[in-house]
Amino acid sequence: MHTITPSSGASLKSLVRQTSPPPGQINRFVPARLVVQCGYRFDSANTNASTVNTNGIPASNNFAGHVGASRADWQSSCAILASKVVSQQQDTEKTGGAGEITVVNGHKTLDLVPIDNNLPKPLTITDLSPAPMHGSQLRVAYQGVPGAYSEAAAGKAYPKCEAIPCDQFEVAFQAVELWIADRAVLPVENSLGGSIHRNYDLLLRHRLHIVGEVQLPVHHCLLALPGVRKEYLTRVISHPQALAQCELTLTKLGLNVVREAVDDTAGAAEYIAANNLRDTAAIASARAAELYGLQILSEGIQDDSSNVTRFVMLAREPIIPRTDRPFKTSIVFAHDKGTSVLFKVLSAFAFRNISLTKIESRPHRNRPIRLVDDANVGTAKHFEYMFYVDFEASMADVRAQNALAEVQEFTSFLRVLGSYPMDMTPWCPSREE
């Protein structure tokens, strides 16, 4: 399993305490009290209900059922996702000085951000168990904070899931690989902004499998603190894709403001509320306005009412492909001789009447440049590419099997990212899901 190590934070050993065992028993590592507490809730009618957390302290109405009312709580949850904090004795190796842990479950330890040990609901060995049994609640990782569109996509894909926010896409992948989450829901393309290239690179970098897809209409709103008027604004912040999707509308509104990119849409709303910024607006969802106590200055500010984002669901194991419903298969391939093989690959699908829904090329990270020598012309330099292809067929379909068998003859690298059911649910572009 491929694991990425963050470059800063506290050592893992600060999160693990060693207890003195009874006579005749071996030492066991006991996990520190860490928190992964969040959930997805669709019906906004229940968000006004008063809640009390496990410490007996009334929780904010705006944050009922979510990670907490402050960025510190959210960062604490994200910190857990950067490493597998607890392991069984037989999977833990110790080297160096006393108490120093360098390997956990066969992986190098990851540095974490210091967290509060007095937080409720400690992470236990149960939280790191395999996928839940039938009927249990799925744990779904997504990038962003509560109120993000990715959280809505997680709720649409798994209506009764426990949604786990992550501060980075990389952390969402690791959360599934380290058994902290059962699924990850990540955006891969938008009808206006195009592909999210970072996630295509991560699909190749990690060994997770695509097990489903969901298409979510994106309904952007302009949010600000209560009482703030449009003419007072000097800055608008949001995710780069959201800013690009609302560029024309912002101009039509007559807003002479600076556009500033941040990590995610809901995070922009949370940042304005936490810092009481009365000259700044955020582009985010109506749900984010409700969660963070902001007012909606303008609704539906996306340049195209048919703005929709496609998300994929990732899991540790692939699902069994079937032929009783429409399926889609995603692959990635490359060839040592460059792009000349692309025509042959596409012909393998066209000959069998298999429709392609997407072709995405990304530069080969390990071999970005290819030199071509010609005695009469000289030396030319070309990019080497990885090709991502989605086609409408199940891997249980004989046509798809034969097509990939032929593609394998032309390519030096071929990997099936997943064969999964297509999202066939109707959606309305005029309103938010």
Which residues are designated catalytic? 309, 311
Which residues does residue 419 pair with via DSSP β-bridges, in sequence order?
A: 329
Phi, psi (degrees; rounded to nearest 5) at 55: -90, 5
In angstroms, the CA 18 to CA 32 distance is 10
In angstroms, the CA 238 to CA 236 distance is 7
User: Strands 258-261 and 369-374, how do they pair?
Assistant: unpaired
In angstroms, the CA 92 to CA 76 distance is 24
Which helix (H) or strand (E) is 175 found in, with range?
A: helix 169-177
Name the one residue in this structure whose structure tokens are 């786990």: 164
In angstroms, the CA 203 to CA 418 distance is 10
**Category of 417 on φ-ψ map: left (φ > 0), alpha (ψ -120 to 50) or beta:** alpha
In terms of Cβ atoms closer than 10 Å to its own Cβ (0-12, 13-18, 19+), residue 369 is exposed
In angstroms, the CA 230 to CA 247 distance is 16
Let me know: does 196 contact 190? Beta carbons within 8 Å. Answer: yes
Residues whose CB is less than 8 angstroms from the CB of residue 61 and which lie 6 or more positions away in sequence, other chains included: 47, 48, 49, 50, 51
Cα end-to-end span (Å), the chain: 35
In angstroms, the CA 425 to CA 282 distance is 30
Phi, psi (degrees; rounded to nearest 5) at 100: -85, 125
- Structure token digits, residue 323: 């032929």
In angstroms, the CA 173 to CA 175 distance is 5
Helix, strand, coil % over all residues of the chain, rounded to 5: 25, 30, 45
Name the one residue in this structure whose structure tokens are 């012909």: 347
